[in-house]
Amino acid sequence: MQFRYNRYSGMPTASRFFKELNFSEFYQRHKQEGWLVNLALVATTVFTACLPVLYLLAPELFVLTIMLAILAVGITLPTLAFLSLGKIKIDSRGIEFCRLGSLDEKLYAWSDLTRITFLRNGQPSLEPNQLYLEFHRQPALVLELNAISKLNLEALISLALYFRPKVLIYPNETLSALGIKEMKLIDPLDFTELWQSNLEQRFASTNFIPLEQGQRLKQSITVLAQVASGGMSAVYLAKDDQLGPVVLKESVFSGSRDTDKFRKAVELFEREATLLTTISHPRIVKIFDYFVEDNRHYLLLEHIKGKTLRNFVDRHGPLSEKTIIDWGLQMAQILDFLHNMEPPIIHRDFTPENVIISEDAKIRLIDFGASSIFLGTATGTVVGKIAFMPPEQIKGRANRASDIYAFGGLMYFLATGRNPQPYEENVLPKDGPIKSINLRKLVDDCLKLELKDRTIRTKEIIDRLESLHRSRVSHAEG
């Protein structure tokens, strides 16, 4: 997350400047730049001492000097405001602060953050004008609150608590006084990583103007940050006034709105979105709403914190047989639920990028960007990652057995840490973590290339995995 920072934001008029800004505050704001403060002190002292003498010796020059002084102030204030412009970037390392008037960027590490204090005139206050962040091994960072929007302040505090959960905030009541509601802490890095990798593999670069931070939709949804984009789609972290943190998926249909192709695309999207909002399953991300605003189509989704299977396996390697059985059973139950809906739903993109491990160590399905209402063997578009697609789906004729192949590909990925090879018969290695002959046979049955050989269905997969689970429990107890 990053945002622009200007110490003089919120002071648009000279009258307000002179009313609220005394010299001591000026000194505090610029005490980092000692040369600037010393120059201001010397110049002010010399100028003040010379004024009476100048008035007595040369009244005309005195008037000219006053006018030049006023002009100098008029030039100095905008210059100071310009030099105070900066950028604050927040990532897993900490807060990186770069000001235009400085030549270097300074990183304030989360590991060194010890205390956050809200100040007014140097004292803790429920009506603060400064945010004072103390660090263990470096000078404190002082931020002017009039230079930070409420959204950015809320995000900064939330991130500070995520990366440094035990940091002291004082006075703690200031959060409520500033109207900052307590919100469920999120992991913005996992969230961004999750959706960015998802869209990068599905779309090209973004070629439309995304929403801006703070923009409101439906008078109840506030955009907090864009976290992923691709093609004519984008994903945002947002906050709903009632639901709290949510995911907002945005789609823009290309082409003229008057063409049959455009109208058909909108009709299919609306029909599918309407269907998906009816899905209710504890392991499937909730789709709260579908709406259209400014000719853009939006899905409002539940925000889930976790790691994609892709990220998890990349970091930890192949999983144990016990975990593969447990997670495989959960994935099979999700597909069984979808395939037995009325009408049945084929996901068509059941891949490591669309399945996450949530905080409770359970499987969650997060995306329906490629799902389709079951239409028999009617030709459709080819979507999904090719390593997890059987031949009939590559030809545009996906059916329920296509999701079975993808499931087998996911089990293969969990066991080996590698994608299955497209267009090839994939067989689990005997020297891998899966020692059970029955489990290897199950994965092989799901990965049959020919549709006529892939006769296994979700109910049978669940029965076989439950049997394997019971066998492991009985063996452990014996």
The mean pLDDT value for 396-402 works out to 89
Tell me what percent of the chain is helix, strand and coil, each rounded to the nearest 5.
40, 20, 35
Q: Which amino acid is at 376?
A: G
Phi, psi of 10 (to 5 degrees): 85, 10
Residue with tokens 């100098």: 72
Mean pLDDT of the chain: 76
What confidence score (pLDDT) does residue 274 get? Answer: 79
Strands 113-120 and 168-170: parallel
What confidence score (pLDDT) does residue 378 get? Answer: 35
The mean pLDDT value for 48-57 works out to 72
Tokens (6 digits) for 45: 């002292």
Inter-axis angle of helices 321-339 and 458-477, nearest 10 = 150
Least Cα distance to 225 among 61, 413, 1, 393 occurs for 1
Q: Name the percent of the chain lying above pLDDT 70.
A: 71
What confidence score (pLDDT) does residue 327 get? Answer: 96
- pLDDT value at 192 more than 70: no
Q: What DSSP line would sit under 209-267, residue for residue?
A: PPPPTT-EETTTEEEEEEEEEETTEEEEEEEETTTEEEEEEEE---S-TTSHHHHHHHH
b/e sequence 310-338, b meaning 16+ C-beta within 10 Å: bbbbeeeebbebebbbbbbbebbbbbebb
What is the C-alpha separation between 247 and 235, in angstroms, rounded? 7
What is the C-alpha separation between 477 and 332, in angstroms, rounded? 26
Domains and CATH numbers, the chain: 1-185 (no CATH), 188-302 (3.30.200.20), 306-477 (1.10.510.10)
Residue with tokens 């599905």: 202
Per-residue confidence at 86, pLDDT binned at 50, 70, 90? Answer: low
Summarize pLDDT for 251-307 with one digit per residue, the tens: 877 666 677 777 777 777 777 677 778 888 999 988 899 888 887 888 898 888 888
- pLDDT value at 4 more than 90: no
Summarize pLDDT for 422-475 with one digit per residue, the tens: 888 899 988 878 889 999 999 999 999 999 999 999 999 999 999 999 988 776
What confidence score (pLDDT) does residue 325 get? Answer: 95
What is the C-alpha separation between 410 and 202, in angstroms, rounded? 18
What is the C-alpha separation between 448 and 441, in angstroms, rounded? 11
Inter-axis angle of helices 59-83 and 34-57, nearest 10 = 160
Q: Angle at CA 354, nearest 5°, toward 349 and 358?
A: 150
Q: Which amino acid is at 215?
A: Q
Q: What DSSP line would sit under 80-148, residue for residue?
A: HHHHT-EEEEE-SSEEEEEETT-SS-EEEEGGGEEEEEEEETTEE-SS-SEEEEEESSS--EEEEGGGS
Summarize pLDDT for 162-174 with one digit per residue, the tens: 678 788 888 888 8
Least Cα distance to 84 among 154, 143, 44, 131 occurs for 143
Per-residue confidence at 201, pLDDT binned at 50, 70, 90? Answer: very low
Per-residue confidence at 39, pLDDT binned at 50, 70, 90? Answer: low
Q: Does an H or E element contain 204, and which?
A: none
Cis peptide before 128, with omega less than 30 degrees from 0? no
- pLDDT value at 402 more than 50: yes
Lowest mean pLDDT among 118-127, 237-246, 263-272, 412-421: 263-272
What confidence score (pLDDT) does residue 11 get? Answer: 35
Q: What DSSP line would sit under 426-456, residue for residue?
A: ----TTSS---HHHHHHHHHHT-SSGGG---
The mean pLDDT value for 213-239 works out to 82
Taking the CB of residue 291, how many other CB atoms lie within 10 A of it? Answer: 13
What is the C-alpha separation between 368 and 271, in angstroms, rounded? 13
What confidence score (pLDDT) does residue 394 get? Answer: 83
What confidence score (pLDDT) does residue 41 get? Answer: 62
- In the chain, what is the straight-line distance between the N-terminal and C-terminal CA atoms, in Å? 53
Per-residue confidence at 313, pLDDT binned at 50, 70, 90? Answer: very high
3-class DSSP state of 4: strand
189-194 CB contacts, 8 Å cutoff, 24+ apart: 189/91, 189/92, 190/305, 190/306, 190/307, 190/311, 191/227, 191/237, 191/303, 191/305, 192/227, 192/228, 193/308, 193/311, 194/306, 194/307, 194/308, 194/311, 194/353, 194/356, 194/366
What confidence score (pLDDT) does residue 360 get? Answer: 82
3-class DSSP state of 328: helix
What is the C-alpha separation between 213 and 215, in angstroms, rounded? 6
What is the C-alpha separation between 171 and 119, in angstroms, rounded? 9
What confidence score (pLDDT) does residue 472 get? Answer: 83
Lowest mean pLDDT among 143-147, 404-408, 418-422, 443-447: 143-147
What is the C-alpha separation between 366 and 43, in angstroms, rounded? 63
